[in-house]
Chains A and B, each alone.
Chain A
Amino acid sequence: MAQAVARPAAASRRRSGLARQEATFGYLFLLPWLIGLTVFVIGPMIGAFVLSFTPYSLGRPLTFNGGANFVRAFTADPQFYNAVGRTLNWAVIYVPLSIVGALLTAMLLNQGLKGTNIFRTIFFMPHLVPIVASVYIWTYLLNPKYGLVNEILFRITHVDPGPGWFASKDWALPGLIILGLWAAIGGNQMLIFLAGLQGVPKDLYEVADLDGANGWQKFRNITLPMISPTVFFNLVLGIIAALQTFSNAFVATNGGPAYATWFYSLHIYASAFQFGEYGYAAALAVIFFLVLVVLTTIQFQLQKRWVYYGGEVK
C-alpha cells in the first residue's frame, strides 16, 4: 500500500503494460475469427457488391458494365418478379403460421402435463429429420396418385382427383408449407418460445386470477408482453430464413411445376450455377441483401412499439 502510494507512476506504468499485454492476447485469441470474418464473410460481402457491377463468368477478366445487371433484373428478366412474388407469397403464409404454430405447441408443453418431456421429444423429431430425407418422405406421402394423404382425403371427401401437390402449380406451394410446418412447429422456435414461457413469473398469473381475469385476458395482457422479445427474435430470424428458402423447393420441385415454386434463392442459384452468369447472380444477391437490410431495420424500429424488455432477468 505504502509502496503504491510512494510510486504511483511505476504502478500505473505496470498497469498499462498489463493492459497492453491483455489486449495483445485478446487479439491473438480472436485471430482465427478475425481471419475467418474477413476472408469468408466480409470479403465475399464486398465481393458480391463488386461482382454485381460486372458481367463476370468464371475465368473471364473483371470488366464493369455499370448497373446493367440491375437494369436487367428489374426490366428484362422474365423470372425476376415471379421469383420475388413466389418468395413473398411463401413467406407471408409460412412465417405467421410457423410462429403461431410453434407458440401454440410451446403453450401446450407449458401446461404441466404428465410426460411433457416425451411429448417435447416427439414434437421435436420432425425438425431433426434432414431436409432432403424429409422431402422424400413427403414426396411419397403427397404423391397425387399413390400417396397416403390423398387416399385419406378421398375417403373423407370422395373428391377425385385430389390435390396434385408437387405436380401441380397451384398445390406445390401448399405442399411445401405443409412440409415446412411439419418440421417447424415442434422445432427450434418452439423450444425458444417454451423457454420464454417458463421465464414468465408465476405470481403475475396469480394476481390476475385474484382479479378474475379469464384465459384470453391473461394471455393477451401477461403472456404475450412477457414473451414479446422471443416473438421478435423468432420473427426476425424466421423471416430471414423463409426468404432464403432453398433446399426443400430445390429437392421437392426444383422450382416447378411451371416456376410455381421458383423461390428467389433458386433464381440466384440457377443464374450462377446453371447459366454461369456469376455477375448477374451477385446482383440478384445484392438486391436481396438490401431488401433484407431495409426489412430488418423496419422491424427493429417497429419493435419499440410492441416488444417489452422489462421482463428480462438481466
Chain B
Amino acid sequence: MNGNGVVLGVSLLAWTLLFLYLVRLERRVKELEKR
C-alpha cells in the first residue's frame, strides 16, 4: 500500500472513531436528560 493509502486509511479510522464517540456521547446525554 502506498503512502496515500495509509494516510486515507488513518483519516477514515480517525473519523470513524470520532463518529462512534459522538454517537455514544449523544446516547449518554439522552439518558441523563431523561432522568
Binding between chains A and B: no
Chain A contact residues, CB within 8 Å of chain B: none
Chain B contact residues, CB within 8 Å of chain A: none
